[in-house]
Structure 1
Amino acid sequence: MAKIIGKYFIAWIPSEEVSAEVNELKTSLQAKFGLKYALKSPPHVTLKMPFSWNEAKEQILIQHLQGFMDQEKGLELGLNGFGKFGKRVIFIKVSRNEALIQLQSRLVHYCKKELEMTKELSDSNYHPHMTIALKDVKAKDFEMYWDYISTLIFYKPKVVGKLVLLKKVDFRWSILAEISS
């Protein structure tokens, strides 16, 4: 039997109500500018960047992550306004949250030590955010996108959510498992 390697990542996803609002925002960017790449994943804040894993061992991965989260508390985040990474990514800002920073650090350390995952540079330079446009963003049109986003208000001071394991299936990211705390 051939070993099949899948792509996964670990993220915090907001409540269904807030997810619906973020998806409406992504859909408005698609309708207005044709930006659709961000619609390939649910609204989320990444905690562990995408990694490869043997699909035959998915349940082992889920069990390990659940064991990790059994020692953790639930997480509530604030979302406030918009930001950008150069002229390539537009995102919703996550309010400064030390609990999130510490959780991400512990999770990355756990994944390296217990699951023998590579620690990526982006795991060390963590900048929590919720992406709403990427990859199909054109630098030449960026100011037009940004002018539109800048007219909007997105403010959610306390958003409950949950940790999930996502898997790439047919070029889309889908929730494979909820990892409860």
Structure 2
Amino acid sequence: MSRFFIALLPPQDIQDYANQVKQYFADRYASSAALKSPPHITLQPPFEWADANLSLLETSLKEFASGQQPVAITLRGFSAFVPRVVYINVVRSQELLNLQADLMAYTESNLGIVDKVSKTRPFAPHITVAFRDLTKQNFKAAWPEFEKRQLDFEFTADKLTLLLHDGRRWNVKSEFAFADDGLILSQF
């Protein structure tokens, strides 16, 4: 069994920015746990999956992704889940909320993947920059510095990313492109 999760990853320049912020939290506030995964928006929280069935998982995700349209994503400012988590705020859009809900329903009905916690609370899209090992005291010190910090990025998410835990950190295992209607030529 291996641990996986499914996410949207921003383009490299935004990942670089987010990683700089994560490194700042590691250096300044002794919170390095967020460095153990690439910057991402979690759509399907971590789940266990049998290694022998990896091709089924990947085939299913490819099928799901091929039916999705690219989604415009806006990142604006920082926010927090008090008292331990600081994150880059992802503006909630109906397209993003629909994508996440559709993925959760698809993985449950087609793969039997169920995240009980996600069923009990609304989807809060975010890109974590500090969590778990950020002490309450360091959160109190860091939050005033970040709560008014300006940040504005926009990008188009055009693929799902499957991440695999190697025992130490999360790594990209595979990516699944969304449909690109721009390439479909109508026939007369």
Q: Quickly name the TM-score band, shorter chain normalised.
A: over 0.9
Question: How much has 1:57 moved relative to structure 2?
Answer: 1.3
Q: Deviations along 1:68-106, whole A, 9 cap, x unmatched?
A: 111111122000011111101111111121101001111
Which is further off, 30-39 or 146-155?
146-155
Which is further off, 84-93 or 147-156?
147-156
Q: Is the 8 A contact 2:30 2:134 kept in 1?
A: no
What is aligned with 1:174?
171
- Does 2:16 align with 1:20? yes
Task: Give runs of aligned pairs for residues 43-122 of structure 1, distance below 5 A.
Answer: 43-122=39-118
1:37 and 1:143 map into 2 onto residues whose CA distance is 18
2:3 corresponds to which of 1, 4, 7? 7
* CA RMSD after TM alignment: 1.3
3-state DSSP of counterpart to 2:106: helix
2:144 and 2:155 map into 1 onto residues whose CA distance is 26
Q: Is the 8 A contact 1:30 1:36 kept in 2?
A: yes
1:171 and 1:126 map into 2 onto residues whose CA distance is 26
Q: Deviations along 1:40-59, whole A, 9 cap, x unmatched?
A: 00000000011000011112
Q: Is the 8 A contact 1:92 1:130 kept in 2?
A: yes
2:62 and 2:28 map into 1 onto residues whose CA distance is 40
1:80 and 1:108 map into 2 onto residues whose CA distance is 25
Q: Deviations along 1:139-179, whole A, 9 cap, x unmatched?
A: 122210112223532111x2133320001013200000011
Q: Which runs of 5+ in 1 are unaligned?
A: none
Residue identity over aligned pairs, in percent, reads 30
Q: How many residues align?
A: 176
Q: Which runs of 4+ in 1 moved over 4 A?
A: none
What is aligned with 2:182?
none
Question: Match of 2:177, as an amino acid?
Answer: S
3-state DSSP of counterpart to 2:47: strand
In structure 2, relative to structure 1, the CA distance for the partners of 1:112 and 1:79 (3 Å cut) is: same
3-state DSSP of counterpart to 2:128: strand
1:102 and 1:163 map into 2 onto residues whose CA distance is 14
